[in-house]
Amino acid sequence: MLDTLLINIGQLLTMNHGEKPLKGEAMGRLPRIENGAVGIKDGRFAFVGSMEEAKQLKAEKVVDCMGRIVSPGLIDPHTHVVFGGSREHEISLKLQGVPYLEILKRGGGIYSTVQATKQLSVEELKRKAKGHLDRMLSYGVTTAEAKSGYGLDRKTEWKQLQVIQMLQQEHPIDLVPTFLGAHALPKEYEGNAAAFLQSMIQILPELKGMAEFVDIFCETGVFTVEEARAYLQKAKQFGFHVKMHADEIHSIGGTEAAVELGAASADHLCGASEKGIEMLAASDTIAVLLPGTTFYLNKDRYAKARSLITAGAAVALATDFNPGSCPTENIQLIMSLALLKLKMTPEEIWNAVTVNAAHAIHRGSSAGQIQVGRFADAVLWDAHHYAYIPYHFGVNHAGTVWKHGKVVYQ
């Protein structure tokens, strides 16, 4: 006897692709079952097949999907979900044309959020982050990466990671913690990035078990490629996996450095060079694209998704949810931007928010596919074709969300 049986699924997106990330052309395939059914038992998928095969199955609860789509729970592999305050007071500067990095230089941007984050207690920060996670869940996200990076000192970075750890216990979304202590250079370290990065390296041993990945904002006026390389090399020596905010605004060779370091992902990539794209294609590093950020920074230079896919790279998509450059938890909006601005096909987009997103945070063998034995994380969509979701933009199409077999949003 199953706990739950979903029947009459018009398109069951199993995403049954095996254990490897999808590179290049492989991203165009979307494994699915037309007129399918899914059985759930003890929090895991226990049956995945056609309605014909499901005929004899019995369950405590039967959900008639009435021809709608079921997909795996979506995965958001790049978020800055734990922070204090918000930054709407900077909008007028932005509208006057003051660039993102100039606002930062003047002490706003990330620095402004660092101040606000320092002022909140663990409980307050947790309550605020929970609200954001609830919203992510409502859009169909069941696994997400969560970065620190609004402390830039031991105490506040630790506080953020603690909040992530607590929410990992309390919230339905599975969280994958990343230490982003190297998010900006604190003013008191001006001219001395090496000393600041050394201070972050010193706290790495304490972060074992608190963070899986170490990330750095490699950008003109923030941290150079050389600094990023040396820092992430140290992080690897301490046993962390690494990621990089690479070539987001300026083309400075961050993509190449991320690949050379064997990073799990290189993120943003709007300014990735031809060579960087070739290197990504020849590597296991996932290209995590964040078109919501390009949109919200009002820039024209979107990441070259088509070149990346043609070259043979594995592309994932994420919100980059944060209070400055991309204040939205809506992964479905990102799917629409990927369609329009990155010219990705609906099939590529679905693979990018499931299978490849899982690989970007080392969850490729546990999340992102509907497969017997895997945890039952799934979404029933208010739509009859998978292409409808990126197409009908700006609204929420998620109907019911299951996490480990339980309904967590409806």
Residue 320 is a binding residue for Fe ion (CB under 5 A): yes
Q: Which does 177 bind (CB under 5 to 8 A by kind): ligand NIG, Fe ion, none?
A: none
- Rounded to a whole number of angstroms, the minimum distance from the CB of residue 217 to ligand NIG is 5
Q: How many residues bind ligand NIG (CB under 6 A)?
A: 13
* Backbone angles phi and psi of 31, in degrees to 5: -60, 125
Burial class (CB in 10 A: 0-12, 13-18, 19+), 298: exposed
In this complex, which beta carbon is closest to Fe ion, that of residue 278 or of residue 320? 320
Instruction: Tell which positions 246-275 bind ligand NIG, by CB under 6 A.
Output: 248
Instruction: Tell which positions 107-126 bind ligand NIG, by CB under 6 A.
Output: 109-110, 113
Q: Is residue 322 marked as binding? A: yes
Residue 136 contacts residue 321 (beta carbons within 8 Å)? yes
Residue 323 is a binding residue for ligand NIG (CB under 6 A): yes
- Rounded to a whole number of angstroms, the minimum distance from the CB of residue 97 to ligand NIG is 17
Residue 35, sorted as left (phi over 0), alpha (psi -120 to 50) or beta, turns out to be left
Q: What mask, x for binding ligand NIG by CB under 6 A, covers residues 198 to 237?
A: -------------------x--------------------
Interacting stretch for Fe ion, rule CB under 5 A, among 152-160, 320-328, 371-379, 401-409? 320-328
Residue 388: how many other CB atoms lie within 10 Å: 14
Residue 184 contacts residue 110 (beta carbons within 8 Å)? yes
Q: Which residues contact 125 (CB under 8 A, 6 or more apart)?
A: 82, 83, 84, 117, 159, 160, 163
Q: How many residues bind Fe ion (CB under 5 A)?
A: 1
Residue 36 contacts residue 92 (beta carbons within 8 Å)? no
202-227 burial, b at 16+ Cβ within 10 Å, e below that, comes to: ebbeebeebbbbbbbbbbeebbbbeb
Instruction: Tell which positions 55-94 bind ligand NIG, by CB under 6 A.
Output: 80
Q: Is residue 362 marked as binding? A: no
Q: What mask, x for binding ligand NIG by CB under 6 A, covers residues 165 to 204?
A: ----------------------------------------
Residue 292 is a binding residue for ligand NIG (CB under 6 A): no
Read off the tokens for 279: 């290197």
- Would you list which residues are annotated within the binding site for 4-imidazolone-5-propanoate? 87, 150, 183, 248, 325
Interface residue list for ligand NIG (CB under 6 A): 80, 109-110, 113, 217, 245, 248, 293, 320, 322-325
- Would you list which residues are annotated within the binding site? 78, 80, 87, 150, 183, 245, 248, 320, 322, 324-325
- Would you list which residues are annotated within the binding site for Fe(3+)? 78, 80, 245, 320
